[in-house]
Copies of this chain bind each other. A is one copy, B any other.
Amino acid sequence: MPRTTQELVKGTLDLLILKTLQAGPLHGYGIARLIEERTKQALQIEEGSLYPALYRMTNRGWIEFEWGRSVNNRRIKSYRLTVSGRKRLKAEAKSWAEFTVAVARVLEQPA
């Protein structure tokens, strides 16, 4: 289902995942669906980006997982933030806010 109006994640995937896990544990597939739902399908989370990202972030100690069962009775890896991950979330959110302000300063210039 290729939808040209959908945006790709452009460097914010980690932040989006960290933020989504802030409210509580969730599995990879669920994270993707929730982000898409919350952005009204404006952001599309590709599985080929998602799973490598979860792997990287686990390695970096920002998240950890345990095997479990979903509400649909499927085997899932339930991820949650670590203490380090909460710190990282805070830092990335701040960085993103500063970044968008900076870009806005350029874009607000008169033609």
The digit string for A20-59, where 1 denotes a CB below 8 A from any CB of B, is 1011000000000001001110110000000000000000
Report which of B23, B40, B95 forms a contact with A109, defined as CB distance below 8 A. Answer: B23
Contacts of A16 in B (CB 8 A): 103, 106
Tell me whether chain A's interface is mostly helix, strand or loop, or mixed. helix
Check if A76 is an interface residue, CB within 8 A of chain B: no
Please provide the chain A residues from 76 to 92 with a CB less than 8 Å away from any CB of chain B in the complex.
none
Copies per assembly: 2
Q: Are B95 and A7 in contact (CB under 8 A)?
A: yes
Does A3 sit within 8 A of B, measured CB to CB? no
> Contacts of A96 on B, CB cut-off 8 Å?
103, 107
Residue numbers of A with Cβ under 8 A of B are 7, 10-12, 15-16, 19-20, 22-23, 35, 38-40, 42-43, 93, 95-96, 98-103, 105-107, 109-111
- The contact of A20 among B11, B19, B93, B106, by CB within 8 Å, is B106
Query: Once the chains are docked, how many angstroms separate the CA of A102 from the CA of B15?
Result: 13
